Amino acid sequence: MTIEEVIDRAVQTNQSVEIEYCTRNGKVFSCEISKIAYSPYYGGAYIQAYCSDWGVDRTFKVSRILKVNGHSFSRIFWNQIGDDFKKIY
């Protein structure tokens, strides 16, 4: 399961989750988010959620989420693997 799939499930089931997030400046922080929805302005690559730590709605880029509920998920970038990926079963 990927982070994107976990976030999608949280959107569909209206679950609150704790995320570890890396900003574009490299700052990493954790926060609990709820009322998660895909951003109508930025599209499916972004979510909007209520952040209880700050008491405000925030927008998060899904690809910058490092952990969900303390779990890391593998991100495989096929262009970094090369032709050897064909050997993976």
**Mean pLDDT, rounded, for 17-28:** 93
pLDDT of residue 75: 55
Banded pLDDT at 77 (limits 50, 70, 90) = very low
Specify the pTM: 0.77
**Number of domains into which the chain is organized:** 1
The residue range of the domain holding 81 is 3-87
Q: CA 5, 62, 44, 36: dihedral to nearest 10 degrees?
A: 80
pLDDT at 32 over 80: yes
**Residue 46, domain CATH:** 2.30.30
pLDDT at 78 over 50: no
